[in-house]
Amino acid sequence: MTDPAAPPWLHLISAFLAMEPSDSLVSLARVCGDGSVTERVQRFIWNYCISRAVGKAYTPYLRNFLKKLIVEVESIHGEVLDEIYELYADIITSLKDDQFVEKSMRVRKTITFLFPDCNNYYLCSIWPSSLLLSEFILSFPEIFSNKSCFEVGSGVGLVGICLAHVKASKVTLTDGDHLTLANMRSNLELNQLSTDTSLLESYEDPNVVQCVHLPWESASESELSAFVPEIILGADIMYDRSCFPDLVRILAILLDRRKSDSTSRKESSKVFTLDTKCNTNDLNDLTAVTSKGPVAYIATVIRNIDTFNYFLSLVEQANLSITDLTEAKMPFNLLPYMRSYDRSNMRLFTVSSKA
């Protein structure tokens, strides 16, 4: 009996929805068939992946997957299902007829975080550090629930969806690019969240996500004073050195304790802060640290050590402290099917004010 809600079948469906590379899908399909893509596996792929995706999935992706699947089955002298051959032929013909389809179609990925007993679907297309930051939020919801959270360079909005899921008291997502913001709002709405673009509203509703246009270069201190977040987040925002001075300036303003102290905070609010003298006990109970001011969580891939060191030097100049949390607080692996996602080169940092 094939249970689509159980691994490895669930991993195969999830990888297909997340548009994992065709090689990964075929390798997961082999796992389902105990080493080969049998007729039963093809039937499953047809019923649970392909036939549900026709007309909705990104056709060039479907074409590549079907091709890989056919080559795989033929290479072991197996029988390819007729419907798989037919669909492949149809797609080849239709793509030939419409050369512009690849550029004009909207690509929609579904990222599924696999908790043992439930399935949640998020429709997004994202950078890898967002996945780590999202896993962190979902692994340690107590850090974020009931906290007002503010993300810089939010991109597609996945982190915001996770923050809303763990009941952050307020979620503000920002980006400097208008098209990215429009796409972000559409992703949030696909995930049953309302969006708000005004800066004025100060109500706290976990189902409403504030989406704000915030280019780092032009964001002024007075503009930022409209926000007093308890937690600031960022994923894959450290790649362009020329943006670092403004990015660090913005982090310093948002992390400024004097500003947050002068603003009335909830009595019960507890915020985790770290400095270079932090000990393992602090790390084991992030929420147990009494309120000392806002803290930032930044996930990143260190692609170039000189670029990263430049960021560190600016952080030091801005009187901020930064601590690597990766080993001490490694999140659960909630994306076991996603073979293209490699956590080994990612780091998670906390940043806070020394003042």
66/237 with CB nearer ligand SAM: 237
Rounded to a whole number of angstroms, the minimum distance from the CB of residue 206 to ligand SAM is 20
Rounded to a whole number of angstroms, the minimum distance from the CB of residue 347 to ligand SAM is 14
CB 260 within 8 A of CB 176: no
Cα–Cα distance for residue pair 182/320, rounded to 1 Å: 33
Rounded to a whole number of angstroms, the minimum distance from the CB of residue 74 to ligand SAM is 38
213/339 with CB nearer ligand SAM: 213
CB 271 within 8 A of CB 147: yes
Rounded to a whole number of angstroms, the minimum distance from the CB of residue 132 to ligand SAM is 9
Rounded to a whole number of angstroms, the minimum distance from the CB of residue 153 to ligand SAM is 3
239/332 with CB nearer ligand SAM: 239
88/216 with CB nearer ligand SAM: 216
Rounded to a whole number of angstroms, the minimum distance from the CB of residue 59 to ligand SAM is 24
- Residue 298: what residue type? I
3-state secondary structure the chain: CCCCCCCCHHHHHHHHHCCCCHHHHHHHHHHHCCCCCCHHHHHHHHHHHHHHHCCCCCHHHHHHHHHHHHHHHHHCCCCCCHHHHHHHHHHHHHHHHCCCHHHHCCCCCEEEEEECCEEEEEECCCCHHHHHHHHHHHHCHHHHCCCEEEEECCCCCHHHHHHHHCCCCEEEEEECCHHHHHHHHHHHHHCCCEEECCCCCCCCCCCEEEEEECCCCCCCHHHHCCCCCCEEEEECCCCCHHHHHHHHHHHHHHCCHHHHHHCCCCCCCCCCCCCCCCCHHHHHCHHHCCCCCCEEEEEEECCCHHHHHHHHHHHHHCCEEEEECCCCCCCCCCCCCCCCCCHHHEEEEEEEECC
Rounded to a whole number of angstroms, the minimum distance from the CB of residue 103 to ligand SAM is 20
157/294 with CB nearer ligand SAM: 157
Rounded to a whole number of angstroms, the minimum distance from the CB of residue 195 to ligand SAM is 16
Q: Catalog residues that contact ligand SAM under the rule CB under 6 A.
A: 126-127, 129-130, 153-156, 175-177, 180, 215-217, 235-237, 243
87/251 with CB nearer ligand SAM: 251
Cα–Cα distance for residue pair 106/103, rounded to 1 Å: 8
Closest CA to 17 of 47, 44, 52, 66: 52
91/301 with CB nearer ligand SAM: 301
Rounded to a whole number of angstroms, the minimum distance from the CB of residue 184 to ligand SAM is 8
78/176 with CB nearer ligand SAM: 176
141/245 with CB nearer ligand SAM: 245
